[in-house]
Amino acid sequence: MIIVLGSINLDIVVPVERCPRPGETIKGGDVRYLPGGKGANQALAARKLGATVRMVGAVGRDAAAGIALSGLRLSGVDCSSVVESERPTGVATIAVGADGENLIVVAPGANADVSVAHADALDLAAQDLLVLQMEIPAESVVAALTHARARGARTILNLAPAVPLADEVLRLAHVLVVNESEAATLADGVMPEALANTLSRRLGIAVIVTAGGEGAVCARDGKTFAVPAPKVAVVDTTGAGDAFVGALAQALDAGHDLPAGLARAVAAASLACTGFGAQSALPDQNTLSLILGESL
């Protein structure tokens, strides 16, 4: 089983011709209210590819909670470990440019109440895979990593948004996933391959650096392998990184090795860019198989 401990948000999405510069006001298109949050997106991404998934997180006692949880519930993600908070449901305000790039501001709300107690109470077995991001308090992520190691469960840590964590904490993860800018906060380097190698050698774990339309690079045990991204018509890049992490988790949970998991994750992230919104564009198994050339 995949357990995701992370954020659950309402995404308020506005299409714009281009993202505004500092101090600038621009007009946008019709607003959309969509389910989101890095944790929820990653849980749904794994579920749509066939994994059994449990979501652990928090929402408010407000109307936004229903929208924020709607995608998870409809897809069959186990939401029994999602608790209600006195704070409002987390909200992300997202401007999406005509080129598919985005500008995002997140108000954590109830996500800030995902505590160390939640992490310590995770019911993990050795065969489970725990997925974490950084839209909940850092101390809760650290506690969850420690708890997973004690239980013998595998972990994927997506260090997004970038938060400085000590090396001894990062070493608790089995796989670290960062994009180029997040990796640059941890290691000097220019190219993804250099960043991945530097971090992997320093931490002694598998490190994946994603590079948008260029694909991703993984370094592990002194070896490096890269997967280029397939060319797609980009509509909206929101949620592409979450599609990557969710697909990687599903692949590893299903018994694929890391190179195969990386290929599936890159393909899923690319497909997620071809539709609007973080969750609505997540691919299912049939769509992913087609782009990978797998028999259905």
DSSP letters along the chain, please?
Answer: -EEEE---EEEEEEE-SSPPPTT--------EEEEE-HHHHHHHHHHHTT--EEEEEEEESSHHHHHHHHHHHHHT-EEEEEEEESSPPEEEEEEE-TTS-EEEEEE-GGGGG--HHHHHT----TT-EEEE-SSS-HHHHHHHHHHHHHHT-EEEEE--S-----HHHHTT-SEEEEEHHHHHTTS--SSHHHHHHHHHHHHSSEEEEE-GGG-EEEEETTEEEEEPPPP---S--TTHHHHHHHHHHHHHHTT--HHHHHHHHHHHHHHHTTSSSTTTT---HHHHHHHHT---
CA distances from 266 to 94, 135, 248 (A): 23, 22, 9
Max intra-chain CA distance, the chain: 51
Point out the catalytic residue in the list 242, 253, 257, 284. 242
Say whether 221 is catalytic: no
Active-site positions read: 242
